[in-house]
Structure 1
Amino acid sequence: MASLLKAVAAVSGAVGLFSRLQTSAPKVKALSTSQSSHQVAGPVWNLGRLNHVAIAVPDLEKAKAFYENVLGAQVSEVVPVPEHGVSVVFVNLGNTKMELLHPLGNDSPIAGFLQRNKAGGMHHVCIEVDDINASVMDLKEKKIRILSEDPKIGAHGKPVIFLHPKDCGGVLVELEQA
């Protein structure tokens, strides 16, 4: 009988605790997609796949050797891209690429990045679009800042634009014509 009373007391104590937890638990609001300040892309252009993640590196040959010799990745030769003030190496990852960036001259935007980030680090993400000109017009209408007036030819020989990181959640986003 004593063990039965102990069991009843334990259950009623747990029930009391459970009911106190239910009444004191904070209410959580569901995240609403309608709260976003940006509109969804219209039918004029479509966002495609992730093309690459760009990493700024202070020593391009050392970084290239790490991905090639230590990790066993397929890497490209160094490609100078004077229009963007960089030298690049592409690391093939199968489903996407990494782009290793190094300044080409003192006026390179990557030189400034490396002054602030001595060890290097992630610089931008590149996403493909099916119509870069339509995307530029649409994004300008949506008040997303574009970092150049017109698309430029990127390291893959295709038109690219960069979107201001302050308009993209703190991330520098490159759009590339697919």
Structure 2
Amino acid sequence: MPSKPEASVFHFAHVMIRVSDLDRSIAFYQNVLGMTVRRRADYPEGRYTLVFLSYGPGQAEIELTHNWGNHTYTSGSAFGHLAIAVDSVERATQLFQSRGANVLRPAGPRMEAPDEIIAFIEDPDQYRIELVQIAAEAR
């Protein structure tokens, strides 16, 4: 097994998802999930736009990739979901639902681990987002 790299050398940077309506997706991640746009770049030669959002400096980002023109995407069977750590899954689910998120699975215990509370919502492109309750000592 390879040795663990120094923490200062590596960190998780971002996850990329393709979106069909960039403005709608930005609105969801900003207005529903409370993220901030960190940077945006248009690439006319490649006919696409990249928008990076996160919860703050040094946090992992989500990269929204919008290919210009009409594109239809299907989720592959290998992709599962994105996950956001929250202090209360129930409160976060209620907040995100009040902001327009579609709740796929309300807050409740995981069947396999009843002490773990989770919920699932989805973004405008039907990407599933898991809300994971983190213990106070882990924050």
Give the TM-score band, short-chain normalised: 0.3 to 0.5
The higher radius of gyration belongs to 1
TM-score w.r.t. length of structure 1: 0.32
Give the structure with the higher percent strand. Answer: 2
Give the structure with the higher percent helix. Answer: 1
